[in-house]
Amino acid sequence: MSRIEFTVPPAQVGIADGITLATRYWAASVERWVLPVIAVGLASGLTTWLFAGSPSDRETLVRLVRLSLGGTPLEPGELPRLVAGPLAVAIVSLVAGWFLTANAIAGLRDREVTLGWVLTGGIRSFVANLLIGLVATAVLLPLLALGALGLLLALALLPVGLYLLLRTSFWTLAVFDEHGIGSGFGATWTITRGGVLRVIGWSLALLPLGIVAAVGQLVVDAALGPAARPLADAIGGASDTVVSSYTIVVLAVLYESQRARRLNPAVVPAAPRSPFDPPPPPGPWG
């Protein structure tokens, strides 16, 4: 299957139909998302193996918290080792996410996934997410500087922030769908108008999948033990990316459905004329 085959008009797709469509395409496009899964799994495992004492290690994290609370500075040579591993995994995961998003849009548009397209869309999506982060930082920092009052104000503004995040939830998909950064924001803002509850409902439908993956990771960690932590992290990184690959396809189906509802409203065809109807009025030429 080279594309997501809608069995009903996209505007009429419900959660059950959307999950069915996404599952079919996701299973048929394994060759497109399996390499990003392998890349993230290898990066996660190798990072744990090569950079022992990473912040992802529970014991190391506890030690860092204790040092911070006690006011004890880190040794100068320890900081690069602590940062290098998570940074490498973050970069690999970021690029893997670009390929997964491209796969989802390719299913909607029946196109091939090319490196140029992935890099162009990925850089645009990175800028879009960076803008969201900068806006959030610009709002939170002044509030947190106010102390307890600022913290209360930040908590009061939390529903507004969540609402705005939901309104921009398709920004990354839009920029991969040949939109620029500005026009992609306009597109996601338009197609989510009146559809926030629908986005929440589809997201909640995917929640059990995330819970299963988290429980599975706990089982793997317990079964392998601390001695096989690199293997456990590799399995965890790969399983998280598998879940992401499926989730993005589901959201792409919802994205297309919202586009059909907001950008391409259905046109009601004119009723057929009866031979007993009066003739139409003459045009400007007659």
Contact assessment for residue 229 and residue 237, using Cβ atoms and an 8 Å cutoff? no
Name residue, tokens 């999948």. Answer: 209
pLDDT class of 76 with cuts at 50, 70, 90: low
Contact 180, 174 (CB under 8 A): no
Between the alpha carbon of residue 125 and those of residues 106, 159, 163, 250, the distances in Å are 16, 24, 20, 18
The answer to whether the CB of 237 falls within 8 A of the CB of 45 is: yes
What per-residue confidence (pLDDT) applies to 96? 97
Judged by DSSP in three states, 282 sits in coil
pLDDT tens by residue, 200-227: 999 999 999 999 999 999 999 889 888 8
pLDDT in the model for residue 264: 72
Which pLDDT score, from 0 to 100, does residue 59 have? 60
Q: What is the DSSP string of 33-57?
A: HHHHHHHHHHHHHHHHHHSTT-TTS
Q: What is the pLDDT of residue 229?
A: 86
Question: Residues of the chain with pLDDT > 70: what percent?
Answer: 81
How many beta carbons lie within 10 A of that of residue 64, not counting itself? 16
Provide the whole-model pTM.
0.83
**Residue whose tokens read 């996404």:** 22
pLDDT over threshold 90, residue 188: yes
Residue 278: is its pLDDT beyond 70? no
pLDDT tens digits for 133-161?
A: 999 999 998 988 888 888 899 899 999 99
- Four-CA torsion 139, 144, 149, 154, nearest 10 degrees: 40
Q: What is the percent of the chain with per-residue pLDDT over 90, rounded to a whole number?
A: 66
Q: Is the pLDDT of residue 286 over 90?
A: no
pLDDT tens digits, one per residue of 23-58: 999 999 999 999 999 999 999 999 888 876 555 555
* Beta carbons of 85 and 50 less than 8 angstroms apart: yes
Tell me the average pLDDT of the chain: 85
